[in-house]
């Protein structure tokens, strides 16, 4: 038997972007994260939901409790692509206090595939997500302070981030938000935000490798 220690596979990051504009700030965030992770040597899988034409509509037979439950071919293919990830990174704008419908549909159809509400309630481990990390990068046209004053920020963290972490038995859930993203965004502020993304990516890579 060889005494040479086995080399651990590079951590796998699945980045899921949801924004209709290809040259959006959200796209820049996703690209910067992917570039930073790739330079470190980790594996990147990038899923651009709008450019993929992802269908967010849950089908009747896809409901986990349906008598005729069956994975649709597109969902089965997506699960095959993202399985084995160490961290799932969601990148999306906050619209009317919630994630875009397409992102919610991805959670329902892909993350929730074959996983009934009873399993979440009973804290059963999710076959693909249990023990994994969740990181969200979000943006809004209004300042975060305004979202907090309206209760939208706390609600989003509770009903999306915290709930997903609990329901899918994730190891952790972190969230980086950028407010006041719009036409008045200066180049300097955009650079600062993207530097934050890069620094976050470095910390995540370190945590996935050694945490």
* Interval 125-138: pLDDT, tens: 999 999 999 999 99
Contact 11, 43 (CB under 8 A): yes
Chain CA centroid to CA 187, Å: 26
How much is the pLDDT for 3? Answer: 52
Give strand ranges (E) for the chain. 12-17, 43-48, 87-93, 133-139, 172-178
The residue ranges of the chain whose pLDDT is under 50 are: 1-2, 4-6
pLDDT at residue 171, as a whole number: 96
Residues 6+ apart with CB under 8 A from 165: 134, 172, 173
Q: How far apart are CA 55 and CA 58, in angstroms?
A: 8
What is the structure's pLDDT at 1? 43
Looking at residue 26, its pLDDT comes to 98
* pLDDT tens by residue, 77-122: 999 999 999 999 999 999 999 999 999 999 999 999 999 999 989 9
User: What pLDDT score does 175 carry?
Assistant: 97
Give the model's pLDDT for residue 183. 86
pLDDT at position 37 is 98
Task: Tell me the C-alpha to C-alpha distance, in Å, between residue 98 and each of 94, 101, 129, 185, 203.
Answer: 5, 9, 22, 22, 27
- What 3-state class would DSSP assign to 134? strand
CATH of 12-210, one of 3.20.20.450, 3.40.50.360, 3.40.30.10, 3.40.50.10310: 3.40.50.360
The helix or strand, by DSSP H or E, that contains position 25, with its residue range, turns out to be helix 25-40
């Amino acid at each position: 038997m060889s005494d040479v220690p086995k080399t651990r596979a590079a951590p796998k990051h699945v980045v899921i972007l949801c924004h209709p504009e290809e040259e959006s700030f959200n796209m820049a965030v996703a690209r910067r994260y992917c570039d930073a992770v790739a330079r470190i040597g980790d594996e990147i899988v990038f899923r651009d939901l709008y450019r993929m034409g992802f269908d967010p509509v849950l089908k009747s037979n896809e409901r986990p409790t349906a008598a005729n439950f069956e994975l649709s071919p597109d969902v089965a293919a997506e699960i095959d692509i993202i399985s084995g990830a160490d961290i799932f990174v969601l990148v999306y704008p906050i619209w009317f206090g919630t994630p875009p419908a397409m992102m919610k549909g991805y959670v329902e159809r892909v993350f929730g595939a074959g996983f009934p509400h009873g399993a979440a309630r009973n804290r059963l481990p999710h076959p693909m997500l249990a023990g994994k990390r969740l990181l969200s990068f979000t943006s809004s046209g209004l300042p975060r302070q305004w979202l907090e004053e309206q209760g939208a920020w706390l609600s989003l963290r509770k009903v999306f981030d915290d709930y997903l972490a609990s329901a899918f038995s994730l190891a952790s859930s972190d969230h980086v938000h950028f407010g006041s993203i719009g036409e008045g965004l200066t180049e300097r502020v955009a650079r600062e935000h993207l530097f934050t993304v890069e620094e976050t990516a470095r910390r995540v890579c370190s945590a996935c490798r050694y945490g």
